[in-house]
Copies of this chain bind each other. A is one copy, B any other.
Amino acid sequence: MALIVQKFGGSSVKDAERVMNVARIVTDTYKAGNQVVVVVSAQGDTTDDLIAKAKEINGKASKREMDMLMSAGEQISIALLAMACEKLGCPAKSLLGWQAGFNTSSVYGSARIKKLRTERIKVELENKNIVIVAGFQGICKYDDITTLGRGGSDTSAVAIAAAMHADRCQIFTDVEGVYTADPRKIPNAKKLKEITYDEMLELATLGAQVLNNRSVEMAKKYNVQLEVLSSYTNKPGTLVKEVTKMEKMLIRGVTKDTDVARISILGVPDIPGIAFKIFGKLAAQNINVDIILQSVGRDGTKDIAFTVSKANGPAALEALKGIDVISDFEMKCDTNVAKVSVVGAGMETHPGTASTMFEALYSADINIQMISTSEIKISVLIDAADADQAVAVVHRAFFPEEDNN
């Protein structure tokens, strides 16, 4: 008898039919003799609908009340899924975040899990119940409802799997696994049988949108074996784990991220401390900076450019206005850019990876604006209009068409 944690996102439970479909997956796993803990997100557009309701009343509502509001979404979906499991003849109990033991920090809207008390889940499992837990939510030391932020349901699932030493944590999505590129756009994209945590982390960060980043970090830390698979088809997905035997394939995937804004500061005086002033101001405003590029400018000045998320673009410009040495200089925010990356743990020992990528882009006449590299990825910033073509040509360079099996 294995303990399996299964997580289903909002689109997997968006209506009665989809809820019944999920219930079939869950009860099949249960009937096969496993203990099953299920984590569910809010149905379809529920979260967005609730946000819209709030905005109609108060565009600046407190985060505490937003958490109170939003957490109702998962409450509805867990109850409906429990009813669906009952309908299929299996005993099921739904648990809210606080009932399932999720103690979090009191940072409303983006709380961190501090402790997971699994007593209640264990009791319900011992009583032969399928346990259905509301993802994305917990309770803080003030006995207030908190939410973990968007994508938090993945984290909820991994946390349960880690705390209970589950045999596997299955993340059901609307794709069949992790691919070398977006399969809707690159027909030649391959589904990976397995991938390491670090590679998955890079892919998650880079916009592959399969798994929430924090959940992969947590899975790595507690060595939780993740499986990404589809709730629509009955096929094996992609395993995320510490791979010991390295596959031949160097590159795990090619990704695109269009939620990027590039801030350029031109003609900054070439004096010490300027970088600290700039990035200190941004850090103070909680603005995450991704790629940073500093180049020598003309006449004893330098140019500094960096990328932030699109939403943070205006705030970044605002934050920089306060720096005296910058105020007179030219600042630009360009949101018409995209980041394309190749990811793979094997690339560090194969110096040809970067040149293969750059050659592919050059052959397609795509201009590279910025470059950033790490041990397991290479990212380039290019014009947004070129992004899809860039993914296609780079993917083809690493996965030639004739290699299609």
Which A residues lie at the B interface, using CB under 8 A?
16, 19-20, 50, 53-54, 56-58, 60-62, 64-66, 68-69, 71-73, 75-76, 78-80, 82-84, 86-87, 92-94, 96, 99, 120, 143-145
Contact = CB atoms under 8 A, between A and B. Distances in A.
Tell me how many chains of this kind the complex includes.
Answer: 2
A120 B94 contact: no
A120 B99 contact: no
Given A75-B75, A99-B143, A80 B69 contact: yes
A66 B20 CA distance: 17
Query: 4 closest Cβ contacts across the A-B interface?
Result: A69-B79, A61-B83, A68-B79, A58-B87
A144 B80 CA distance: 16
A57 B20 contact: yes
B86 A65 contact: yes
A341 to B, nearest CB: 39
Nearest to A50: B76
Contact of A16 (B50, B57, B82, B87): B57
A266 B180 CA distance: 80
A304 to B, nearest CB: 40
Given A86-B61, A143-B120, A54 B80 contact: yes
Contacts of A60: 86-87
A53 B87 CA distance: 14
Contacts of A57: 16, 19-20, 80, 83-84, 87
Contact of A75 (B20, B69, B92): B69
A348 to B, nearest CB: 49
15 contacts: A16-B57, A20-B57, A54-B79, A57-B83, A58-B86, A58-B87, A61-B82, A61-B86, A65-B94, A68-B75, A68-B79, A68-B82, A68-B96, A72-B79, A99-B143
